[in-house]
Amino acid sequence: MVPRHLLRADGALGSLHEYTVEATVDPATHTFIDVRAIPHALPWRECPAAADAVGKLVGQPVEDLRATVQRTLLGIESCTHLTNSLRELADLPTMVARLAPSAP
């Protein structure tokens, strides 16, 4: 059974948690120069606190995000849906390296 608050008026299923994450990473040091989460569909009034806290990750190395997010974003700042997305950014350096053209 789908919770009533997830059903839109047209009967389609809506989102429960939705954020957009925007980040700028220093290519030399792989640290965040800027990072923000833009809240969209959120179920509770406490949820925006998680988006507001993401700026605490500025200066942190991207590769360390899996551990850093857990240590840095605590309590209502630690929305599981948002922190899961942030931790996945730890793979960015590997993905970028694979996309970079090979040197001749």
The count of other CB atoms within 10 Å of the CB of residue 43 is: 13
Q: Which amino acid is at 37?
A: A
Query: Does 43 reside within a domain?
Result: yes
Query: Does 78 reside within a domain?
Result: yes
Using pLDDT thresholds of 50, 70 and 90, give the confidence band for residue 60: very high
Domain count, the chain: 1
Query: Does 81 reside within a domain?
Result: yes
CATH number of the domain to which 27 belongs = 3.90.1010
Q: List the domain range (segments joined by +) for residue 88.
A: 16-97
* Residues 7/14, Cβ–Cβ less than 8 Å: yes
Mean pLDDT on 77-94: 91
Query: Does 66 reside within a domain?
Result: yes
| Most distant CA atoms of the chain, gap in Å | 58
Mean pLDDT on 21-44: 91
Note the pLDDT of residue 79: 87
Mean pLDDT on 37-56: 87
3 state SS of 72? helix
Query: Does 84 reside within a domain?
Result: yes
Query: Does 67 reside within a domain?
Result: yes
